[in-house]
Each structure stands twice: as structure tokens, then as C-alpha cells.
């Protein structure tokens, strides 16, 4: 099956051949909607798409050290997680807007559609039918597999279904748009075209060539700082930021449940956090980065990080006239939320929420699921990570202790070789120092920002805490 990323859409390119770069491009709504759909992709999906470069013999594009977090999940044994579904959820997280994105002319998300399963014996629990979004789970009541696929009635009032009369997915009407090399998007007009060219240093069309291409959106557009040039001229990958400036703010803690203590080992001479010893909640929080969609991540960071061209794309959605978008769809781009059941709710200092699941009534006579009825709901969702199918849990088993390295490699404590690590670091023992730091919402934001832009997330995101007075946390 051909990859969605191999499909193309027409694009008019204005290129500077002397500089081997794309100055700007002009495209229709179809291309722009696909660009905007990048904001709905979970970080785990972005890492998986980027990894295809390595499989195809190209340099692997990296997104800070989120790649290491993803690889830690790939390399972990099934015993680390509650069940194999947990690992599947992190490696192939669902797009919360998949029902919209599948209507795009070019959809970069190749994940499978969300499915619904019920018990093969049609068991009820507490007078409700249990629905599962995953096959392979067993009914808690009878022990049989939940593998029955009920029919689902299409309901045009559903928020997951694009209305038939809407000509577009995110954007209304027909218009042409200008796209710049850094993925800033503006509506096309002669005035804006001339203004932007002048700001870029061009006085006329000398050195500029117009080219018509059917262009695919290759994976490097997700991490590059000069996306169009990298795709069209095959320039390789422009390098991302190597440092991160943490935003120092007051942690908002309303109780013990709002923060976690983290033991870190520091090299005093290098001013570097070597690693942290972390319990399950902190590791689940880190792993939840993989299920968070890009739009929600950029929203909470509020401009305090740079992920290739994605900040420009996000700001373009914010700055384009809201009347050009379908009312609810702009919020699907600026804050898509985590797909239902894919989040970690026990400790979420970033406040990246789950999208509300579509509710159903199951008609056991016709065997049909009827979505989004306002009354008489008789279904509940099976929690795939939980031993009892209902209790909300995270991804990794409890109790567990992990070593989190500075570059976000996560290893169970039992598998971490201290001897090998310390020999490799070659640091004198008297240079090491242990601290306990408090992680609340401000620290969590800095950790997220550093993880997206550097290869030393703990140091870049949290070391400033050790340089402030009275930062050792309460036991």
C-alpha cells in the first residue's frame, strides 16, 4: 500500500536558484488544509513518520530528544507496561481529529481508524454495554474476547462527521494562499505578495524563477526550519535549536497531588543533570508527551519553544481571519486535545486534556451503535490499560522505579547499568551531587520545551532550579 506521504498536490513555487531555496509558494485551500492538519498529529506519530527517513537510507530527523523517549518505548519489554496495548498506544497514538483529517485531499496520518468492539457474548456490566477501542481485551464479566464489531449509525450531527454541505475540512470557500519557507501562511493578494518580497530583500523578479510542481509533504517538513527548500531542493535537514531558555515562573501548587519530587544526580563541574530516579507518575507524564497533539503542545508552550516551522504554522492559524474557518474546526487545530483514552489523568501538570469521547446508545436488537444521543446512553468505554477495564491507570506498571537520562532515555532501574554509565561519563565521584527538586506546572512546561528543542532535556529544562536558593524539595 502506498504511503499517504507519497501523494501530491499542485503547488506554484517561486525559487531563488542562486541561493538554492524556495522564497515562497502559492497553493489552494487543499494544500493549506493539509499543512494545518500537522497540528493535529500526536508527537509520537510525528516521530514515527520522521523515522521513515532512516528506513529509506536518509539522515533521521530528530525532534529534540523526543526520539529517545519514543525509542525507549520501542525497546522496552512488555513487562514494563500494564499490558501490550499500553505500548501500542504510545507508539501509534490516535489523532483526535482523525475523522476530519481522513477527508483531506492529502492526509499525512497513516494510522488506522478508531474502531469499536463489544463482548462477543453481548455482556452488560452495571446495565451498560462496555465498548473497547482496541481488540485483544477480554470481557471482565465472562472472560471472552471483546471482538464483536457493531455497526455504527452515521449521524450528521456528530462533531466527528463533517457536514455534507461543508465544502472543506477546516477552511471555508475557495482562495489562494502564500506559503513561506518557514511555513508562515498568508492569504494571497498582490499587495501582500509585494510587501513580503520586499521584506525578504527582493526588489524585482531577477534571480527568481516560477515553477509548477506536484509536491508531496515529506516527513522533514515536520521538523525543518526551511521546510519548502528542504523538500524541493533536498537540502537535507536544517538544524533545530541546540539550547533552550527556561521560563522562570511561580509554580502553581494547590496541594500535594499537584507536584512530584524528583531525585537528580548532578555533575557540579559541568553544571549538568546526569540522570534522575523517577517513579511511575513522572514516567507516565513523560510518556504522555507522545500522545499529545502538536497543536495542544504549542498552545501550552505559548511561543516559548521552537519546533522547526511549526510555531509559524500555528501562529498562521491564530492570525488568519477566524471567519475563514468553520466555527469549531479552528479549535481542532489550535487545541486538538489528546484522543479519548490516550491521556494520563492522574498527574497532568501541563493541563493537556483528553477530548471527550463520542457517546453511544447500543441497540441490542439491531446491533447498531447510535452516536451522540443526548439521553438514554447505555454504553461505557473499557479502559484498555486497566486490570479491571474501568480504573484509570497510566502506561507503566506500579510499583516501578526508572532511570531517566538527561536525553530522556528511560530505562527500568533493574536494567540500568550504573557501572557502564559512570565509566562512559568518566566523571570523578566527588564531582557528583544529589538533589531533590520539585516538579510542578512551570517546571513541567520547561521540561516539555527543552525535550522538543535540545538533546539535554533535564539539564536545559530543570538545572536552573539548582541555581536558585531553597530549591531542594520537601521529602
Query: Contact, 188 vs 178, CB < 8 A?
Result: yes
CA dist 43 and 70 (Å) reads: 9
| Residue located via cell numbers 497553493 | 27
Query: Contact, 414 vs 25, CB < 8 A?
Result: no
CA dist 406 and 202 (Å) reads: 44
pLDDT of residue 165: 43
Mean pLDDT to the nearest integer, 149-158 = 67
Higher pLDDT, 379 or 79: 79
pLDDT of residue 240: 47
Q: To the nearest whole percent, how much of the chain has pLDDT over 90?
A: 44
Which grid coordinates are listed for 96? 483526535
Query: Contact, 45 vs 51, CB < 8 A?
Result: no
150: pLDDT confidence band, cut at 50, 70 and 90?
A: confident
Top-confidence range, 222-231, 246-255, 273-282, 390-399: 273-282
pLDDT of residue 254: 45
60: pLDDT confidence band, cut at 50, 70 and 90?
A: low
Considering the chain, what is the average pLDDT of its residues?
84
pLDDT of residue 464: 94
Question: Minimum mean pLDDT among 26-30, 167-171, 207-211, 293-297: which range?
Answer: 167-171
**Per-residue model confidence as pLDDT tens digits over 302-332:** 887 777 788 899 999 988 877 788 877 888 8
Higher pLDDT, 152 or 434: 434
Higher pLDDT, 246 or 69: 69
pLDDT of residue 4: 45
pLDDT of residue 162: 40
**Per-residue model confidence as pLDDT tens digits over 180-230:** 999 999 999 999 999 999 999 999 999 899 999 887 655 555 567 888 888
Higher pLDDT, 53 or 420: 420
pLDDT of residue 109: 87
pLDDT of residue 376: 66
**Per-residue model confidence as pLDDT tens digits over 392-405:** 889 999 888 999 99
∠ CA 284-436-249, nearest 5°, is 80
CA dist 104 and 179 (Å) reads: 18
Checking if the pLDDT of 3 tops 70, the result is: no
**How far from 304 is each of 18, 299, 410, 450, 453, CA to CA, in Å?**
34, 10, 25, 10, 11
pLDDT of residue 475: 36
Which residues make beta-bridge pairs with 9? 215
CA dist 113 and 117 (Å) reads: 13
Checking if the pLDDT of 164 tops 50, the result is: no
- DSSP string covering 335-400, please? ---BPTT-S--SS-TT--PBPPPPPEEEETTTTEEEET-SS---EEE--TTSTTSSS---SB-SS-
pLDDT of residue 372: 67
Query: Contact, 111 vs 92, CB < 8 A?
Result: yes
pLDDT of residue 262: 96
Q: CA Rg, the chain, in Å?
A: 24
Alpha carbon 31 to chain centroid distance? 21
Mean pLDDT to the nearest integer, 364-391 = 77
Q: Which phi and psi (to 5°) does residue 218 adopt?
A: -75, 170
The residue among 166, 217, 169 whose CA lies nearest residue 6 is 217
Reduced to 3 states (helix: H, G, I; strand: E, B; else coil), residue 166 is coil
- DSSP string covering 258-313, please? G-EEEEEEEETTTTEEEEEEEEHHHHHHHHGGGGSBHHHHHHHHTTSS--TTHHHH
431: pLDDT confidence band, cut at 50, 70 and 90?
A: very high
CA dist 175 and 184 (Å) reads: 16
**Per-residue model confidence as pLDDT tens digits over 97-131:** 998 898 998 888 888 777 889 888 888 877 788 88
pLDDT of residue 167: 72
* Host H or E run for residue 444: helix 441-453
CA dist 278 and 282 (Å) reads: 6
Q: Which phi and psi (to 5°) does residue 318 adopt?
A: -65, -35
β-pairing, 176-180 vs 9-16, is unpaired
pLDDT of residue 47: 93
CA dist 408 and 71 (Å) reads: 10
Checking if the pLDDT of 94 tops 90, the result is: yes
pLDDT of residue 249: 67
Q: Which phi and psi (to 5°) does residue 260 adopt?
A: -135, 145
* Host H or E run for residue 283: helix 280-287
pLDDT of residue 220: 53
Helices 66-75 and 43-50: crossing angle in degrees, nearest 10, is 80
Mean pLDDT to the nearest integer, 79-102 = 92
CA dist 301 and 192 (Å) reads: 29
**Per-residue model confidence as pLDDT tens digits over 337-375:** 999 889 988 888 998 999 888 888 887 777 788 876 545
Checking if the pLDDT of 160 tops 70, the result is: no
Helices 294-301 and 441-453: crossing angle in degrees, nearest 10, is 120
Checking if the pLDDT of 473 tops 50, the result is: no
Question: Minimum mean pLDDT among 89-98, 119-128, 139-148, 236-245: which range?
Answer: 236-245
Reduced to 3 states (helix: H, G, I; strand: E, B; else coil), residue 261 is strand
CA dist 344 and 341 (Å) reads: 8
pTM reported for the whole predicted model: 0.88
14: pLDDT confidence band, cut at 50, 70 and 90?
A: very high
The residue among 1, 3, 6 whose CA lies nearest residue 215 is 6
Mean pLDDT to the nearest integer, 450-459 = 94
Q: Which phi and psi (to 5°) does residue 398 adopt?
A: -120, 145
Checking if the pLDDT of 235 tops 80, the result is: no
Mean pLDDT to the nearest integer, 23-37 = 93
The residue among 92, 62, 29, 5 whose CA lies nearest residue 452 is 62
Amino acid at each position: 500500500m502506498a504511503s499517504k506521504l507519497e501523494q501530491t498536490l499542485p503547488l506554484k513555487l517561486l525559487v531563488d536558484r542562486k541561493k538554492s531555496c524556495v522564497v515562497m509558494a502559492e497553493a489552494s485551500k487543499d494544500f493549506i488544509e493539509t499543512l494545518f492538519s500537522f497540528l493535529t498529529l500526536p508527537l509520537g506519530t510525528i516521530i514515527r513518520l520522521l523515522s521513515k527517513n532512516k528506513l529509506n537510507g536518509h539522515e533521521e530527523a530528530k525532534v529534540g530528544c523526543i526520539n529517545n523517549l519514543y525509542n525507549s518505548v520501542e525497546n522496552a519489554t512488555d513487562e514494563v507496561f500494564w499490558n501490550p496495548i499500553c505500548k501500542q498506544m504510545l507508539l501509534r497514538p490516535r489523532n483526535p481529529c482523525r475523522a476530519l483529517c481522513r477527508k483531506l485531499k492529502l492526509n499525512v496520518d497513516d494510522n488506522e481508524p478508531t474502531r469499536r468492539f463489544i463482548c462477543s457474548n453481548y455482556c452488560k456490566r452495571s446495565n451498560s454495554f462496555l465498548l473497547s477501542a482496541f481488540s485483544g481485551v477480554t470481557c471482565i464479566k465472562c472472560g471472552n474476547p471483546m471482538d464483536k464489531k457493531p455497526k455504527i449509525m452515521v449521524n450528521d450531527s456528530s462533531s466527528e462527521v463533517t457536514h455534507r454541505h461543508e465544502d472543506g475540512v477546516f477552511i471555508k470557500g475557495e482562495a489562494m494562499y502564500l506559503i513561506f519557507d518557514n511555513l508562515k501562511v498568508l492569504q494571497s493578494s498582490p499587495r501582500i505578495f509585494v510587501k513580503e518580497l520586499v521584506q525578504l530583500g527582493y526588489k524585482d523578479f531577477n534571480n527568481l524563477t516560477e515553477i509548477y510542481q506536484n509536491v508531496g509533504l515529506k516527513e522533514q517538513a515536520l521538523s525543518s526550519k526551511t521546510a519548502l527548500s528542504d523538500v524541493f531542493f533536498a537540502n537535507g535537514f536544517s538544524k533545530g535549536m541546540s539550547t533552550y531558555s527556561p521560563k522562570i515562573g511561580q509554580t502553581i501548587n494547590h496541594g500535594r497531588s499537584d507536584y512530584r519530587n524528583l531525585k537528580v544526580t548532578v555533575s557540579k563541574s559541568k553544571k549538568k543533570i546526569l540522570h534522575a530516579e523517577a517513579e511511575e507518575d513522572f514516567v507516565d507524564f513523560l510518556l504522555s508527551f507522545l500522545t499529545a497533539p502538536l497543536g495542544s503542545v504549542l498552545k501550552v508552550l505559548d511561543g516559548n519553544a521552537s519546533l522547526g516551522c511549526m510555531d509559524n504554522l500555528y501562529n498562521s492559524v491564530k492570525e488568519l481571519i477566524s471567519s475563514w474557518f468553520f466555527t469549531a474546526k479552528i479549535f481542532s487545530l489550535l487545541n486538538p486535545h489528546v484522543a479519548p483514552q490516550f491521556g494520563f489523568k492522574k498527574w497532568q501538570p501541563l493541563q493537556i486534556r483528553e477530548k471527550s469521547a463520542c457517546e453511544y446508545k447500543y441497540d441490542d436488537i439491531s446491533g447498531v451503535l447510535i452516536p451522540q444521543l443526548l439521553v438514554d446512553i447505555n454504553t461505557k468505554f473499557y479502559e484498555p490499560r486497566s486490570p479491571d477495564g474501568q480504573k484509570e491507570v497510566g502506561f507503566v506498571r506500579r510499583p516501578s522505579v526508572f532511570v531517566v537520562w538527561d536525553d530522556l532515555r528511560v530505562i527500568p532501574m533493574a536494567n540500568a547499568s550504573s557501572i557502564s554509565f559512570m565509566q562512559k561519563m568518566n566523571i570523578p565521584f566527588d564531582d557528583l551531587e544529589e538533589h531533590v527538586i520539585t516538579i510542578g506546572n512551570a517546571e513541567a512546561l520547561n521540561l516539555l520545551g527543552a525535550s522538543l528543542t535540545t538533546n539535554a532535556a533535564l539539564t536545559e529544562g530543570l538545572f536552573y532550579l539548582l541555581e536558585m536558593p531553597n530549591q531542594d524539595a520537601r521529602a
